[in-house]
C-alpha cells in the first residue's frame, strides 16, 4: 500500500473515533510515538515497584503487608501488559530494556525519590497512584486499541491502590502527634513531584502537537494536572493535611484552584538522570535483570521444546 493510502485509511479511522489496531496500516511516526510513550509507561510501572518494595519487610501489620505485596504485584503486571502492548508495534522486550538501561528511554520522574518512612507508602498510593489514574482514565480513550484496553484494566487496579494510600494517610492523621507529622512530611515531599508527573506545561510539551492530531492524548498535561489538584485538595483537607503551596487558592471565576509554579529545573534534573535515586534505581534494575537471565533462557527453552 502506498503512503497516501496508508494515511487515508488511518485518518478515516481516527475521524470516526475508531481504534487503530496492530495489523492496521499506520504512519511510521505514529508507531514510533506510541513505542516511546508506551515503553516509558511500562518502565515507570516496573521501576515504580522499587520505592515500595523497600517497605515490604517493614510494613506495620500483616494486613498492611498483604495489601502492599498485592499492590506491588499489580504494578509489575501493569508493566507486563504495557510491554506486550508496545511489542504489538514491532519492538521487542529486549530492545525496550536495552533502551532503559542505556538511558535512551525515560521513566517517570516520581520514582527517583526515596520512600523514607511508612507515611511515604501512604503518599505514594494516594498521590502517585492518584495522579497516574487521572492521566490513565483519559488514556482509556487513546486511539491505539491495545493501549486503550490495557488502560481500562490498569485503572481498576490503580483505584484500589489510591484507596489504600489514602487509608494509610487517614489512619496516620488519626494517630499520635508524631504520626501526624510523619504524614505531613510525606505530603510535603511528594506533592510537587506528583504534579510534575503530568509533564511540562502544554506550551513546553514537544510531543503534544502530534499526540492530539493522532488522538493519542485526549486531555493536555495542564488540564490533567489541574484535575488532579482540584480533586486532591479536598481529600487533603478532609483528613487535616496541608498542601505545601502558599499560592494555592480557590478561583471562583475559573472554578478551580490557582496554584504555585512548579520547579521545572528540578524536573529536568531528575528526568535527566540526576535525581536523588536515579543511579540506585537503574543499578538495581540492571543487577536483577542480569540475575534473571537464566529464568528467561529456561522459559525460552521450554517454549521451544513444546513447540516441536
Ligand atoms: N517523567 O512532550 P511531553 C504510575 C518527558 S505510571 C519523566 O509532554 P508526552 C503507576 C517526555 O517523556 C506513571 N519524563 O511528552 C505507579 C518527553 O521526553 P522524551 C507513568 C517525562 O509523552 C504508581 C519530554 O519530557 N505514567 O505512576 C515526564 O507527550 C505507583 C517532553 O514531554 C505514564 O507514563 C515525567 N513525568 O507527555 C506505579 C502515562 N513527563 O520522551 C508504581 C503515559 C514528560 O522526548 C507505583 N504517558 N516527560 O525523551 C503519558 O501520558 C505522557 O507520556 C506524559 C508526557 C503525559 C507523561
Nearest CA to ligand 1 atom 18: 106
Ligand 1 atom, smallest distance to 205 CA: 2
Is the beta carbon of 129 within 6 A of some atom in ligand 1? Answer: yes
What is the distance between the alpha carbons of residues 83 and 174, in angstroms, rounded to a whole number?
Answer: 40
Nearest CA to ligand 1 atom 3: 205
Q: Given this model, what pLDDT does residue 229 score?
A: 98
Q: Three cell numbers at 15? A: 475521524
**What share of the chain in percent tops pLDDT 70?**
98
Q: Three cell numbers at 146? A: 491495545
Q: Given this model, what pLDDT does residue 62 score?
A: 97
> Is the entire prediction scored with pTM above 0.85?
yes
Is the pLDDT score of 5 beyond 60? no
Is the beta carbon of 65 within 6 A of some atom in ligand 1? Answer: no
Contacts of 255 (CB under 8 A, 6+ apart): none
Å from CA of 193 to ligand 1 middle: 12
When pLDDT is averaged across residues 96-122 and rounded to a whole number, the result is: 98
Backbone angles phi, psi at 20, to 5 degrees: -85, 130
Backbone angles phi, psi at 117, to 5 degrees: -135, 175
Is the beta carbon of 130 within 6 A of some atom in ligand 1? Answer: no
When pLDDT is averaged across residues 56-85 and rounded to a whole number, the result is: 97
Is the pLDDT score of 1 beyond 90? no
Q: Given this model, what pLDDT does residue 308 score?
A: 78
* Beta strand segments in 107-174, E: none
Is the beta carbon of 141 within 6 A of some atom in ligand 1? Answer: no
**Probe ligand 1: pick from 160, 202, 207, max atoms within 8 Å of CB?**
207
**Probe ligand 1: pick from 108, 222, 272, max atoms within 8 Å of CB?**
108
Å from CA of 243 to ligand 1 middle: 23
Is the beta carbon of 72 within 6 A of some atom in ligand 1? Answer: no
What is the distance between the alpha carbons of residues 211 and 199, in angstroms, rounded to a whole number?
Answer: 13
Nearest CA to ligand 1 atom 19: 106
When pLDDT is averaged across residues 142-168 and rounded to a whole number, the result is: 96
Question: Which of 273, 279, 294, 300 minimizes the C-alpha distance to 92?
Answer: 300
On whether the CB atoms of residues 85 and 38 are closer than 8 A, the answer is yes
Nearest CA to ligand 1 atom 29: 207
DSSP notation for 37-48: HHHHHHHHHHHT
Å from CA of 109 to ligand 1 middle: 8
Q: Given this model, what pLDDT does residue 3 score?
A: 57
When pLDDT is averaged across residues 35-50 and rounded to a whole number, the result is: 98
Confidence bin at 8 (pLDDT 50/70/90): confident
Q: Given this model, what pLDDT does residue 7 score?
A: 62
Render pLDDT for 262-302 as a digit per residue (tens, 0 to 9): 999 999 999 999 999 999 999 999 999 999 999 999 999 99
Å from CA of 214 to ligand 1 middle: 17
Is the beta carbon of 200 within 6 A of some atom in ligand 1? Answer: yes
Q: Given this model, what pLDDT does residue 286 score?
A: 98
Amino acid at each position: 500500500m502506498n503512503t497516501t493510502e496508508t494515511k487515508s485509511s488511518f485518518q478515516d479511522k481516527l475521524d470516526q473515533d475508531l481504534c487503530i489496531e496492530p495489523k492496521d496500516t499506520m504512519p511510521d511516526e505514529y508507531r514510533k510515538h506510541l513505542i516511546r510513550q508506551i515503553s516509558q509507561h511500562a518502565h515507570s510501572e516496573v521501576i515504580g515497584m522499587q520505592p515500595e518494595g523497600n517497605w515490604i519487610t517493614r510494613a506495620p501489620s500483616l494486613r498492611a503487608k498483604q495489601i502492599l505485596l498485592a499492590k506491588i504485584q499489580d504494578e509489575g503486571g501493569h508493566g507486563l501488559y504495557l510491554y506486550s502492548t508496545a511489542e504489538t508495534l514491532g519492538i521487542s522486550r529486549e530492545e525496550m530494556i536495552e533502551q532503559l538501561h542505556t538511558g535512551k528511554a525515560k521513566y517517570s520522574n516520581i520514582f527517583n525519590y526515596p520512600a523514607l518512612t511508612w507515611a511515604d507508602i501512604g503518599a505514594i498510593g494516594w498521590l502517585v497512584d492518584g495522579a497516574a489514574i487521572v492521566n490513565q482514565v483519559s488514556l482509556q480513550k487513546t486511539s491505539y486499541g491495545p493501549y486503550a484496553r490495557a488502560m481500562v484494566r490498569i485503572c481498576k487496579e490503580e483505584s484500589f491502590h489510591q484507596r489504600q494510600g489514602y487509608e494509610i494517610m487517614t489512619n496516620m492523621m488519626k494517630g499520635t502527634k508524631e504520626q501526624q507529622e510523619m504524614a505531613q512530611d510525606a505530603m510535603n515531599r511528594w506533592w510537587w513531584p506528583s504534579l510534575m508527573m503530568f509533564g511540562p506545561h502544554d506550551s513546553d510539551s514537544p510531543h503534544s502537537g502530534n499526540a492530539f492530531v493522532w488522538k493519542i492524548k485526549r486531555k493536555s498535561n495542564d488540564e490533567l494536572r489541574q484535575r488532579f489538584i482540584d480533586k486532591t485538595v479536598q481529600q487533603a483537607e478532609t483528613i487535616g493535611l496541608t498542601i505545601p503551596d502558599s499560592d494555592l487558592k480557590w478561583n471562583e471565576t475559573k472554578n478551580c484552584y490557582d496554584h504555585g509554579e512548579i520547579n521545572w529545573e528540578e524536573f529536568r534534573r531528575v528526568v535527566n538522570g540526576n535525581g536523588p535515586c536515579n543511579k540506585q534505581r537503574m543499578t538495581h534494575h540492571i543487577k536483577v535483570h542480569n540475575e534473571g537471565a537464566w529464568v528467561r533462557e529456561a522459559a525460552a527453552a521450554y517454549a521451544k521444546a513444546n513447540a516441536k
